[in-house]
Amino acid sequence: MINIEDDPKDIIKELSETEINILYVLGKMRISVNKNINEHSIKKKLSDEDLKNYKKAFSNLCACGIIVMYRPGNFAVSKQGRKITDEIVEQKRQKKYAGLRILMLQIN
């Protein structure tokens, strides 16, 4: 079971790939405690592979307290969940643009 009070990097290591992708979608949309999203909107942005394991992954994230119910059918990300989503977005950004820095140095 994931302890939500741990460091976000430690929590990310314990998450499955589908859970990470769900949190990545929420992070890219800047969902927080005060900004909520419908579950259907999350599903639209996931790949077919992630949709296969969506139900289990989403319920695990809700059980851990990373995702909280805002209203019936609408969900938000807890404060600690927001730190986790920001960390996931940052990691994926660094991975995607890792070679860009080298390219920029060669141009100059």
Q: For the chain, give the percent of residues with pLDDT over 90.
A: 66
pLDDT of residue 99: 73
pTM score: 0.86
pLDDT of residue 103: 66
Nearest to 66 by CA among 27, 17, 92, 93: 27
Q: Is the pLDDT of residue 89 over 90?
A: yes
pLDDT of the residue at 73:
86
Cβ(64)–Cβ(5) under 8 Å? no
Domains of the chain: 8-107 (1.10.10.10)
**45, 51 contact by CB (below 8 A):** no
pLDDT at 90 (0 to 100): 93
Cross-strand partners of 68: 76
Q: Chain-centre distance of CA 30, in angstroms?
A: 10
As to burial, measured by CB atoms within 10 angstroms (0-12 exposed, 13-18 middle, 19+ buried), residue 21 is: buried
What pLDDT digit, counting tens, does each position of 22-52 carry?
A: 999 999 999 988 899 999 999 999 999 999 9
